[in-house]
Structure 1
Amino acid sequence: MARSKLGARTPVMEAALGFALGAVGGYILGATEDPVDKTLSVMTSEGLMKPVMDEVRTVGALGLGTLVGATAITTAMTSAVAGVILAAAAASIFVATRSCGTSHTDCVGLWASAGLAGAFGTTLSGATLGVTIEWIVTNLGMVALLWALSIFTMLKPPLHFLLKFIWQQGEVCCSQGPVASAREREQKETEAKETQQRERVATQMEHRILMLEKGGKADGTEHRTAWEAERRQREEMERERREREEAEMEQRTIQDWINNVVLKHVDFLAFSGIPMTMLAIVTSGFGVYGYAGHQSVFIALLALVMIIPYLLLKSPDFKFWMMAGCVGMLATFVIAMLTLHAEQEVVTAAMRMQAAGRNRPRDVISARMNYRASLEALNAGFFVAKLCQLGLGATVGGPLVRRGAGQGKVIVGAALVAGVLLAGVEAVAPVLGEGGKAGALLGVVGAAGVSVGGAAAVAGGWSSWPGTLGTVAGLVVGALGMGKWHFVNIGLQVPVAYVFAMTNPF
């Protein structure tokens, strides 16, 4: 296990500090469990599930599973990327308009503005998508949701180029803004002072040479005093020039990293959802054309799950969005299988009752099949979307800590922001509705994922095993304690967050 020292501390101090930081990340992760579970319980009540149940016979169990899974994962990915891009924009404006000195790790304002913008953007985007999806399903049905998902997926590649163009224009505006002009003016003034000093020194040297040529005797004390003053002034100007160059280099480094983050996430936004959407289109299309229960649906689904990852993984220029697309597609496949399994369980139970001489009406069995399939699709889809949002948040928090943004700033700051957002979502829940609240809570989970990812990065960065074990223990204990000891949920979320935190998509 490769380790990079986070500080010169004793193992006991590392373990104590790691436990405290891990507990903060775990605490905010556990705090999201109860609100998310309550929202999911309301969304899966029989009354709200009726529009979904009515469409199961149209698109089939596999079609419903892939459609719900693709929609949920696309929502999570889109809201997470929206938050990252907004955070990058806030950080870029901060860097372009202010000087952070020679060390950007001390710029609390930089990380605070980026963190607040990112968390707000993720939550707002999730709420907007949640309200939109709820309205489409309630008023137009699942087939309309399929059309909306397909159109949104087709619009993302053009949006990819538009976002890149807007970002480039923003960079040009920042480079030509008043702050850039002030920096250029300051540089010219410094260069003018240096030129004046060189001319003054040259004049003094010429004057002394002329005096010596005429046989005069120069006052040594006076000349030494003048030379000392010139030397001190020259050293001061050299120090100011060096500090200015270091600050400009540091700001260029930050801006280059921000640009790289934006470009990676714009690519991620544009292309990562295509594999999941293809599954939804194919399986739901079979159902729309009357083949919802045919074996060909499963064969086509299995073929896509095997072929698409093979082609992506075989690419010589493998990118983060390809990995995320493969993971999302496999998650969609799992949701479809769980949905089909739930429906088959009802069929198996009905056959057993029939064998025992207790026949049930066909319409009752059909309604029960639709209900179980819809319930499983929504439960699995929402849980996978939560894991996706948590993982994407961890991919932000982990690299930030490893880059040197400050372990305490990232972990504690993200936890505080997530806590404030959680309270805010609960306060405006009546306005958002169930769909909007669910989407907003996914955004809060993403903000919590930044804290958890930072804690995971800290666990992997200590110079001793007690520090690593202490951080992991704090993370697990905090998550379980605040999450009301949901061992299965927390047990799945913490490893996912750790894996994504150790992944560097930039």
Structure 2
Amino acid sequence: MAQTKLEARSPLMEAAVGFALGAVGGCILGATEDPVDKTLAVMTTVEPLKPVMEEVRIVGALGLGTLIGATALTTAMTSVVAGVILAAAVASVFVATRSCGASHTHSVGLWASAGLAGAFGTALSGATLGVAVEWIVKNYGMVGLLWALSIFSVLKPPLHFVFKFLWKQGEACCTLGSETLARERKQIEITESQQRQRVAVQIEQRILTLEKGGSNSGMEHQTTWANERRQREEIERKKMESEEAEMEQRTIQDWINSVVVKHVDFLAFSGIPMTVVAVVTSGFGVFGYGGHPSVFIVLLVLVAVIAYLLLKSSDFKFWMLVGCMGMLATFVIAMLTLHAGQVVVTTAMKMQAAGQKQSREKISARMNHQSCLEALNAAFFVAKLCQLGLGATVGGPLVRRAAGEVKVIVGAALLAGGLLAVVEVLAPALGEGGKAGALLGVVGAAGVSVGAAAAVAGRWSTWPGTLGTIAGLVIGALGMGKGHIVNIGLQVPVAYVFAMTNPF
């Protein structure tokens, strides 16, 4: 769909409206900062880190970084796609049964129901995956997590064909709901036919009256013809509205199907590159080569080869782009994990040169602790960026499809705020893993609002509107985010880039 400018206003009005809309998206983004940071702080304390620290000796620093990074990104991607698919299913049923194009009220109901389902699905799936990852790590360690991630990645491609088949069957069932429009169209045709027959009878009666020498100027006939004309105009109006509603219904359903197909492909294939990297580097660690320099060389070559093959593809798709980005993010996490351990070694060597000797066991324990700490911090932050960006890829296209910038920005912000409150209330029952996954889902819902605001910034007819929206987004995020300049400074550009991307 071609991008169109927003309704023209005065530059000052555009700046004010843009600032308000941007501030809404920025505030909900900033509101997620503190809860996420607190959850991460709890997860990186000594007790939760013990199961991870015990396993770092097995898979090595690089293996630990790639494994935790791939798991965090897989969790983030899966929860977003689950939310999008649930929202699409609800929207599809709503479109088929309520003929949303017939009235503005139905359109509002469509976006509200789909948004609620998407936000709930993202948070719930995130919490479920978080609990599952936490349980696997505590009971089976990193090797168990490696097996779970590998099995999940292997099962996704065949399952996505099954899901597409089931979606088509569900779509066929939903089309039965179009009988409402069919009945309306049939009723209009019957009414139109009856009106034509009635007019034909009246014409015949009028002809007979004239043949018998009757009057041709009675008020009764003029009134009759005026009523018939009004009825004809009313029938034409209803017929046009029905055709427009049916066309709108078909257009929305086709777009929903396109969204589902793209996201199912994305879920099935985008995680494979980073899973391959995690399996290879962790495999080196399991076989006793976790700290060997060759692991770094193999990792670098593997990332370069996979990225080259994906980017060289003649049929480049959205999942390939995100797959490359996820793999590169996993590589960065692995480098940060390795670097954290090397910093400990460097510090120990400087202390030893200064006469402060430390035991090898103490240095090794500090290396493992720092590596685990860095792996979790980096993986969680990258997963949050991924969740925010994928949410923005939903919000941006919605605004460009004229879904209503106010509805998308404010509605997504309210849903994210409500989910944030629910997660805080249910935190004791969710546990740390479940809470972390649910909060990532909240970030995804906030990303819809931020992405919509970013898309609005590019659609104003004047620069004041664009700059006002950006200023509101940044100021709102910094204000509610308690001045986390580095985090916000990285998240806003990521949200903007993904909002401008059209994967559909």
- In 1, the alpha carbon distance for the partners of 2:309 and 2:104 equals 41
Distance 1:437 1:495, change over 3 A: same
Matches within 5 A, 1:64-83: 64-83=64-83
Paired letter, 1:319: K
Residue among 393, 396, 399 paired with 2:394: 396
Task: Name the counterpart of 2:9.
Answer: 9
Q: Percent identity?
A: 76
What is the Cα deviation at residue 7 of structure 1? 1.7
Corresponding residue for residue 158 of structure 1 = 158
| Cα separation, 2, equivalents of 1:378 and 1:132 | 17
**Counterpart selection for 2:290 from 289, 292, 309:** 292
Q: Which residue of 2 aligns with 1:311?
A: 309
Native 8 Å contact 1:68 1:381 kept in 2: yes
Q: In structure 1, what is the equivalent of residue 168 of structure 2?
A: 168
Q: Is the 8 A contact 2:94 2:100 kept in 1?
A: no
Contact 2:181 2:242 in 1 (8 A): no
Distance change >3 Å, CA 105–CA 77, structure 1 → 2: farther
SS in 1 for 2:100: coil
Task: Report the residue type matching 1:16 in the other structure.
Answer: A
Superposed displacement of residue 310, structure 1: 1.2
Query: For 1:219, which of 210, 216, 219 is the aligned residue?
Result: 216
2:233 pairs with one of 212, 235, 240 = 235
| Distance in 1 between residues matched to 2:121 and 2:84, nearest whole Å | 8
Measure the CA separation in 2 of the matches of 1:187 and 1:487.
58
For residues 167 and 236 of structure 1, the distance between their equivalents in structure 2, rounded to whole angstroms, comes to 39
CA–CA distance in structure 2, aligned partners of residues 201 and 36 of structure 1: 71
The C-alpha deviation readout for 1:51-86, integer Å capped at 9, x for no partner, is: 111111111111111000000000000001111111
Once the two structures are superposed, what CA deviation does each residue of 1:415-468 show, in whole Å capped at 9, x if it has no partner? 111111111111110111100000000001111111111111111111111111
**Structure 1 residues 427-466: aligned runs within 5 Å:** 427-466=425-464
Amino acid at match of 1:358: Q
1:176 Cα deviation (Å)?
1.7
Q: CA deviation at 1:492?
A: 0.5
Match of 1:126 in 2: 126
Following superposition, the deviation at residue 350 of structure 1 comes to: 2.1
Instruction: Kindly report which structure 2 residues correspond to 1:348-359, keeping only aligned pairs within 5 A, or say none.
Output: 348-359=346-357
CA-based RMSD: 1.8
Partner residue of 1:273 out of 271, 274, 283? 271
| Residues 106 and 11 (structure 1), Cα distance of their counterparts in 2 relative to 1, 3 Å cut | farther
TM-score normalized by the length of structure 1? 0.95
Q: Which amino acid aligns with 1:117?
A: A
Question: What is residue 91 of structure 1 aligned with on the other side?
Answer: 91
The answer (yes or no) to whether the contact 2:99–2:181 under 8 Å persists in 1 is no
Q: Which residue of 2 aligns with 1:327?
A: 325
**Paired residues of 1:105 and 1:405 also in contact (CA < 8 A):** no
Aligned-partner SS, 2:356: coil
1:247-262 matches, within 5 Å, as 247-262=245-260
What residue is the counterpart of 1:37 in the other structure?
37
- Greater shift, 218-227 or 324-333, is seen at 218-227
Q: Residue 495 of structure 2 corresponds to which residue in structure 1?
A: 497
Q: Secondary structure in 2 aligned to 1:461?
A: coil
CA contact (8 A) 2:96 2:176 kept: no
Deviates more, 1:476-485 or 1:189-198: 189-198
Offset at 1:209?
5.1
SS in 1 for 2:288: coil
> Quick one: distance in 2 between partners of 1:336 and 1:103?
53
Question: Which residue matches 1:190?
Answer: 188
Query: Which whole-Å deviations, capped at 9, do the CAs of 1:321-340 have from their partners, x for residues lacking one?
Result: 11110111110000000011
- Which segments of 5 or more consecutive residues in structure 1 lack a partner in the other structure? none
Do the aligned partners of 2:88 and 2:256 also contact (CA within 8 Å) in 1? yes
Contact 1:3 1:463 in 2 (8 A): no
C-alpha displacement of 1:344: 1.0
Query: TM-score, normalised to structure 2's length?
Result: 0.96
Secondary structure of the corresponding residue to residue 236 of structure 1: helix
Cα distance, 1:217 vs. partner? 5.0
Q: C-alpha deviations, 1:124-143, integer Å up to 9, x for none?
A: 00000000000000111001
What's 1:146 paired with? 146
Q: Is the 8 A contact 1:105 1:406 kept in 2?
A: no
Q: Separation in 2 of the partners of 1:285 and 1:91?
A: 44
What is the CA–CA distance in structure 1 between the aligned matches of 2:97 and 2:137, rounded to whole Å? 45
* Alpha-carbon distance in 1 for matches of 2:107, 2:347: 63
Q: Which letter does structure 2 place at the counterpart of 1:420?
A: G
Name the CA distance, whole Å, in 2 between partners of 1:448 and 1:182: 36
* Distance (Å, rounded) in 1 between the aligned partners of 2:472 and 2:198: 65
- Following superposition, the deviation at residue 224 of structure 1 comes to 4.3
